[in-house]
Amino acid sequence: MEKTIRIGTRDSELALWQAHTVQNKLNDLGYKTEIIAVKSQGDIILDKPLYELGITGIFTKTLDIAMINGQVDIAVHSMKDVPTALPIGIVQAAVLERANVLDILVYKHDKEFLDQQATIATGSLRRQAQWLFKYPNHSVVDLRGNVNTRMQKLQDNDWNGAVFAAAGLERININPELFINLDWMIPAPAQGAMVVVAMGNDDFTLEAVSQLNDIETEVCTYIERQFLKTLEGGCTAPIGAVARYNEEQDSIDFKGVLLSIDGKKKLEVDKIVPIEAWKKLGFYAAQEILEKGGNEIMIEIRAQLKPNA
C-alpha cells in the first residue's frame, strides 16, 4: 500500500505556505500527503536575540527530532535557516526553484531618515552589520518573531524601518506600501530558496521528493552554503553570499561578504567562473576571505557570540 507522506513544518503562516506548496506539488504527482505543524524553540523564545540562544538550527531542530522519531517523513524549511551540516541520517531531498533573493527595507513615513540619525530593526546579524557599514550613524535594534509579528512590531514601535526578506513577504501576500529594495545588501546564503529534507533510508519518500528539485537553485545554494561552511559561520554570523547562473556566458557569478558584528570591518569577494568550476567555488571564495583577514574577524565573532560570554 502506498504510504501517506507526512510533511513536518513550523506553524507560522510563511512556514505553512511553504509546506502547502510542497504538498500541492506532491499531490499533483499523485502522492498522498498530510501536514503536521510543530512549534520550534525559535518561535517560542522571542525575548532573546537568536545568537544569544547559542543553538545552531534553532528553527529546524524540532522538526529534525520529529523526523528521526518517525513522526514526520519530510520537513520543509527556508533554506537559509538550515545548518550547513544536517543531523546524521537526514539528507537534502530537494531544493525548489528559488524566489526573490533580495532583502527589503519596510519603512513608515518617508525616506529622509536615511540621511539622518535613525533606528532600524532586524534580528539578523548579517543585516545589522551591512546596515551599520553603510549607515554608521544609525542604531539597530533586535526584532524577532514570524513575518506577521515583526511587521506588527514595526508599526507598534517608534523605529524608522525594518529589514525583511522579500521572498517571505511575497509568499504570504504582504505588500508594504513603503519599501526599498536593498540591492546593495548581500543576502543570506540560500535566501529565497526552500529545501525539503528527509531520512536517508526512506527510498519511497526520497524518490517522490526528488522530482521537485530545481538543479540551478541546487547548484547556486550549494556554492553559497559551501562558502558559509568554509568560513565556519552558523546561521547567525554576519556572512552574505549569492551565486547566480549566467546563461549567456554559461558561468556562475558569485558575491560573498564577511563583516564584523559592528559593521566596521568588511571583506568582500566577487568571482565569475565557468560553470564546470562550480563545485569548489564557495570553498575558494571563502579561503580568499580568510586570507584577507577573515580569520581574525571570525575569531572575534566567535568570542562575541559565545553563550554567557
Which listed residue (81, 142, 183, 202) is catalytic? 81
| Residues 37, 26: Cα–Cα separation, whole Å | 18
Residue 81 known to be catalytic: yes
| Residues 37, 197: Cα–Cα separation, whole Å | 15
DSSP 111-143: GGGGGS--EEE-S-HHHHHHHHHH-TTSEEE--
Q: Kindly report the three-state secondary structure assignment for every residue of 175-221.
A: CCCCEEECCCCCCCCCCCCEEEEEECCCHHHHHHHHCCCCHHHHHHH
Q: What radius of gyration do the chain's Cα atoms show? A: 19
- Burial of 299 from C-beta contacts in 10 A (0-12 / 13-18 / 19+): exposed
Catalytic machinery residues: 81
